[in-house]
Amino acid sequence: MLLRIIFAGKVQGVGFRKFVKKKADEFGVKGFVRNLPDGTVEVLAEGDEETLKPFFDAIENGPPLAEVNGIRYEFIEKDGGFDEFKIEY
């Protein structure tokens, strides 16, 4: 199962991607996190539902310097074929 999340607000330049990568490694989630040109951050995480829900809870507020003021997310019933979690640039 995939979980796609878009975070809006003060989410770039505050260590957001590094924070998400650390949490993904803790939860054993695979996928990626990247900054988007419009100032948002996208997370695409692969795992089972029992793992993705607590992972989402752990990252929804972001790191201490972030100010998340909008979140869009969707669960997608397919596999992404990821073998690790990466920060994409």
**Residue positions annotated with a catalytic role:** 17, 35
By DSSP bridging, strand 30-35 and strand 85-88 are: parallel
CA distance 45 to 29: 6
Task: Give the CA angle between residues 40, 27, 61 to the nearest 5°.
Answer: 35
Q: How far is the C-alpha of 55 from the C-alpha of 3, rounded, in Å?
A: 10
